[in-house]
A and B are shown apart, each in its own frame.
Chain A
């Protein structure tokens, strides 16, 4: 009886037909959340419809259903879900005629609300107790709310880590380069020879030494501001040191309170060059903007609302490039709108670089995850992790690839990186791999390219097109390798050369 009531009630308030939140025509539906008339993701609506009025809403089940992670045969998983139902969290979008502050005020009057956080276009609400379907719909299916989605986190929504332990990956004994003193040659960073990825992407220290700084936002676990190889690289906006901005932007105060992942990505992107310490980043003169999305005290789990607000923070603070070495399995409206706003819908203002990631569903089918799937947007590029050792990229010709697929291969195996805690040297290094490292490599390559005159006068879309045009294709993969050796060619251009001159010289014109 209750179930019938609930289904009728839900059907009346949750329009789901035509919902295209996570469908192949992703970019075709950008901005269509409101136009589609849906009030919540179709899968969440279906979950709500399956509940009786007095059944409690389970955030984990809703998120698993939304992500197509729900295993229909997973009886043990369902039993595990029943252990403890968490209090729900949601991302709420106010209706067109409801000021966001009005929605916030309404939520703050609800005694069952534990916390409310207001962002540019949405509100994140966390309730203090589990709610029944009826109680939840009473709160969410109101004219003041145009759209709501679960504010998911959890292992399946992992961004930067599933492993809360602060342990670094040990380097093989043969490559304990941090124990060496500075090299005699330029650059003198002792681990330069271990950076096989630099060699394979055609990185030139002479070009890097002359490059101009770009601002790269690293949406991650923070960056260890005390690391010797990152000293002077961090950008922190003093104006942002208030309220939640402080929470988002504060770099790791110490290595103890900082999960290593963000620091690892930072070193690959912009580790200092020729300082006699550790590694050298691909764009060593660039500045790093740490934006914390995963914290040790939160078990390194990240909520969708945090990712969305972090992207907004990076955009509003003027990052040229946003690196997200992270993934999640759903097309969150809050995040998608933040990505579109930060990068620019049609003409990108900045580049968002991420790793190309997929997951196996319960039935072994492959599902590309986010933000990788946003690569159909003009300002987004996805890095496919690879190991080029054994391939001869040096003699491969430029691929002259179109940027339409938006996937480039980048080094993603055995990458020597900066990390947060010392091993047996005075500064810390580890070894990383995967889509995270590939993303960091590509972000560094984009920053170096954009920072090499006269390409500093180019737009984000021009930089993206150049990266694809001058990538190198091999037989080993359908995805061309990012390759920046071409930057040397720009030295022949005069000081007054324009971006168009450079594009013509590189053979990347229309």
Chain B
């Protein structure tokens, strides 16, 4: 698995966790809109879906050129409120497809949850991510994961993410998961 990962930046903890001593320095195939987001560790600083994505958890997005997907590589931290589970626990086990819009989202866009607006935003998506044990014994509970790439703030080259589960239209009580670059 390691050999097929082409990393944009090599020093993330997730990569170290995988034992990748050296990788290609730059991912020539990674889309340029992903530049502010891949290879940097992102900390989940707020999760309204604690059972699915833990506050304090860390993840790094990397580009898998062989499968042309972006992988979320997670790492536990001492400040994490709950453990990563299911697919999150598998090293780089969550594969996401890039859906290009024409801009980066703002956090306000994500909070409003208007799919018409969000459809114009760059995002990563997977339809079938297991994030916590199924309530049905032996079952598999899959979620639709949408990772919106937030406009980098100020002069920072790095951008945060906002994650929604199962629907871009927010009629839920809560549901936003927010991550900031370290």
Contacts and interface: CB of A to CB of B under 8 A. Distances in A.
Contacts of A355: 169, 171
A80 B112 contact: no
A436 interface: yes
Interface string A421-443: 00000000000111110100000
A356 B172 contact: no
Given A74-B128, A163-B49, A357 B169 contact: yes
B171 A155 contact: no
Interface stretch (A9-17, A49-57, A199-207, A358-366): A358-366
Contacts of B76: none
A332 interface: no
Interface of A: 71, 74, 76-77, 79-80, 83-84, 155-156, 158-163, 165, 167-169, 259-261, 264, 299, 325-327, 355-360, 362, 364, 366, 369, 384-387, 412-414, 432-436, 438
A167 B174 contact: yes
Contacts of A167: 48, 50, 174
Contacts of B134: 83
- Interface residues of B toward A: which range? 35 or more
Contact of A160 (B48, B144, B169, B171): B171
A387 B112 CA distance: 7
Interface in B102-144: 108, 111-116, 119, 125, 127-128, 134-136, 138-144
B166 interface: yes
Contacts of A436: 170-172
Contacts of A362: 127
A80 B172 contact: no
A435 B171 contact: yes
A259 B50 CA distance: 16
B142 A76 contact: yes
Given A77-B142, A165-B50, A432 B173 contact: yes
Contact of B113 (A71, A299, A326, A434): A434
B140 A433 contact: no
Q: Is the interface of A mostly helix, strand, loop or mixed?
A: loop
A474 to B, nearest CB: 15
Interface of B: 48-51, 99, 108, 111-116, 119, 125, 127-128, 134-136, 138-144, 146, 165-176
A385 B113 contact: yes
Nearest to B107: A413
B140 A326 contact: no
A308 to B, nearest CB: 18
B165 to A, nearest CB: 6
Nearest to B170: A434
Contacts of B141: 80
A432 B48 CA distance: 11
Given A74-B128, A76-B128, A83-B138, A384 B114 contact: yes
Given A84-B136, A167-B174, A299-B135, 18 more contacts: A77-B127, A80-B128, A83-B134, A162-B175, A163-B173, A355-B171, A357-B171, A366-B115, A384-B114, A385-B112, A387-B111, A412-B112, A412-B114, A413-B112, A433-B112, A433-B113, A434-B169, A435-B171
A168 B135 CA distance: 22
Contact of B114 (A165, A325, A356, A432): A356
Contacts of A299: 135
Nearest to A156: B166
B114 A385 contact: yes
